[in-house]
Amino acid sequence: MSHHDERTFVMVKPDGVQRGLIGEIVSRFEDRGLKLVGGKFMRIDEALAHEHYGEHEDKPFFDGLVDFITSGPVFAMVWEGADATRQVRAMVGETDPAESAPGTIRGDFGLDLGHNVIHASDHEDEGANEREIDLFFDDEELVDYGLDTAAWVYEEEDH
């Protein structure tokens, strides 16, 4: 493997699914040159919601957040590439879509903090990417393969 193998967890939230944005969001990461290594269309139950958002347990918005994230299906993904966690967060934008730059996913598709379309692992929270991948995916659900375009995305590709 190489330094291109960093993995990050991403999820289209129930509002993004209902608004038909799965394809658009997947396209953005594909276009960037990232490699999809896992994907799962699923419904989050109460227990998983509590575990995933455990850091926000004491916040006033926690109950509403759990209700929202369990309210409909989500599309969970794992994307791989150089500096993937930080790069994906930059593509996602700020937590509040109203503060997110046009060109980012939240800045292009959202207007409201409570419905911000997408989740992505926080690059400032050490190990959050691996923790969240483990929470949502079994090892055998992550697919090991070579992406032929990597030779063109990266100047030096060692596959």
Instruction: Extract the annotated binding site.
Output: 13, 61, 89, 95, 106, 116
Q: What backbone torsions phi and psi does residue 41 show, to the nearest 5 degrees? A: -90, 120
E strands along 43-80, which residues? 74-80
48 near ligand IDP, judged by CB under 6 A: no
**C-alpha span between 147 and 159 (Å, rounded):** 9
Active site residue 123: no
Least Å from the CB of residue 124 to Mg ion: 9
Q: Is 122 in the site for Mg ion (CB under 5 A)?
A: yes
The answer to whether residue 114 forms part of the interface with ligand IDP (CB under 6 A) is yes
Cβ at position 89, least distance to ligand IDP in Å: 8
27 is written with which tokens?
Answer: 């396209």
Catalytic option among 4, 50, 115, 119: 119
23 touches ligand IDP by CB under 6 A: no
Helix (H) or strand (E) holding 28: helix 22-32
Q: Work out what residue 65 binds among Mg ion, ligand IDP, none; the CB cut-off runs from 5 to 8 Å by kind.
A: ligand IDP
Q: Which of 50, 56, 35, 51 is nearest to 147 (CA)?
A: 35
Q: What is the DSSP letter of 70?
A: T
The site for ligand IDP (CB under 6 A) is made up of 56, 61, 65, 95, 113-114, 116, 119, 122
